[in-house]
Chains A and B, each alone.
Chain A
Amino acid sequence: MIGSIAAIGAGLSAIGAGIGIGQIGGKAVEGIARQPEAASKIQAAMIIAAALVEGAALFGVVVSFLSIR
């Protein structure tokens, strides 16, 4: 029972990160399409933001992972 609730938690955090990284990637592609010469700067900023979002999601995953045991 606890294991399946933890799995739901991991899934929810994955959904949150999916929405977040999707937004970041979409906006970055939009930005690059508008200003192709700024592509490298946009990419770097995109990766930082994606890593931060992913970090929040992984907190969720780790907590649910710990609660299995």
Chain B
Amino acid sequence: MQFKQILNFKKNTSSLILGVFLLLTAVAGHAQEAIGEAETAEVAHQEEAFNPADAIIEHISDSHSWHLWGHTSLALPVILYTDKGLETFSSGKFGHGEEAYTGKYYTYKLEKNKVKVVDEGGNVNEEASKKLLDFSFTKNVASLWLSIIIILVIFLSVASSYKKRVGKAPKGLQSFIEPIIVFIRDEIAKPNIGYKYQRYMPLLLTFFFFILINNLLGLVPLFPGGANVTGNIAVTFVLATITLLVTNFSANRYYWKHIFLPGTPKWLYPIMWPVEIIGIFSKPIALMIRLFANITAGHIIVLALISIIFVFKSVAVAPAPVLFVVFMDVIELLVALLQAYIFTLLSALFIGSAIEEHHH
């Protein structure tokens, strides 16, 4: 009974979150429309030399607005914690990143997609900018919420259909998800963790589907996708930190004995301890860098190929890069799946090595 209540609570919360998200986007989008129209006339004389490196960095990094189409973009809220207090406003106030906005405490301006404090003359005040803490609801955060909603919708419906159809064959979405869950259980959890695998299944499944869905959303170039969430080092850092904590908190005494009392001569201990302690941290760091670099590198390659068209400023060269981009995108689909698999597999491997029973 209690569990059912929790499930209902989750459903209500997820629909609430969806509602808030849609409301936010609707309000912000409305605010942006007027600016979008005014801006179109100005574009004609903005033809500068195209710099592929800057364009690529802009596309793979986080941003305060979410590009929709043409010159329309979704303005996301900016939340700043200044030394004088909290300040919130829509990023639509920055225009297309060129205008300054005077808030309650300071005047702000976007400098390379980062909010900076400026004085009356429009010069960046570095000292005040350093005290600024930016908690904004950025593109990556919005995309993160979107993927959370997708995951909740999929898995709450699958979970409820398991409750309804106990002992019967799977149906609908359930029959699409079940083989993947069974694959993770039989190919990742059981061989690497051992008989205690059940405790870690929720974690591994969450890792797998969270990374997979965010990778796939990142490959979609249009609005609901387009944010580079798993290619953001902060996101992969948190994921790797979870692995680090779970590994070390579920570790048994053989794991710690291997680190502090390894089977080497005693006079080697001063050398072995630092090595082993670095070993604890280097494994999650490798996880972090691997996911971040794979996804970022894929996006950079696709964007670099697209940039070729703009560098040559000709439609005639377009077919070749477009063909390559389609080819790269197919490879990226494989990479999206493979990186989710690898991250889950290596997490299972690390956890498994920490809870392994002693045997010689």
Contacts and interface: CB of A to CB of B under 8 A. Distances in A.
A64 B195 CA distance: 43
A17 B249 CA distance: 33
B220 to A, nearest CB: 24
Contacts of B245: none
Contacts of B349: 48
B293 A48 contact: no
Interface residues of A, number: 12
Nearest to A44: B187
Contacts of B290: 51, 54-55, 58
Contacts, number: 33
B3 to A, nearest CB: 35
Contacts of B289: 55, 58-59, 62
Contacts of B293: 58, 61-62
Nearest to B191: A44
Contacts of A54: 290, 294
A39 interface: no
B120 to A, nearest CB: 30
Interface in A35-69: 44, 47-48, 51-52, 54-55, 58-59, 61-62, 68
A48 B294 contact: no
B346 A48 contact: yes
**Most chain A CB atoms below 10 A, which of B338, B342, B346, B349:** B342
A54 B53 CA distance: 24
B68 interface: no
A47 B289 CA distance: 17
Interface string B17-58: 000000000000000000000000000000000000100000
A62 B286 CA distance: 12
B336 to A, nearest CB: 14
Contacts of A51: 290, 342, 345-346
Contacts of B53: 68
B297 interface: yes
Interface string B258-295: 00000000000000000000000000001001101110
A36 B338 CA distance: 23
A59 to B, nearest CB: 6
A67 to B, nearest CB: 14
Interface string B338-354: 10011001100100000
B61 to A, nearest CB: 12
Contacts of B345: 44, 47-48, 51
A6 to B, nearest CB: 12
Nearest to A41: B191
Interface in B168-190: 187
Interface string B57-85: 00000000000000000000000000000
Nearest to A58: B293
Contacts of A61: 293, 297
Nearest to A10: B297
24 contacts: A44-B187, A44-B345, A47-B341, A47-B342, A47-B345, A48-B346, A48-B349, A51-B342, A51-B345, A55-B286, A55-B290, A58-B289, A58-B290, A58-B293, A58-B294, A58-B297, A59-B286, A59-B289, A61-B293, A61-B297, A62-B289, A62-B292, A62-B293, A68-B53
Given A59-B289, A62-B293, 6 more contacts: A44-B345, A47-B342, A48-B349, A51-B290, A58-B293, A58-B294
Report the 10 A-B pairs with minimum CB-CB distance, sorted nearest first.
A58-B293, A51-B342, A55-B290, A55-B286, A62-B293, A58-B289, A61-B293, A62-B289, A58-B290, A59-B289
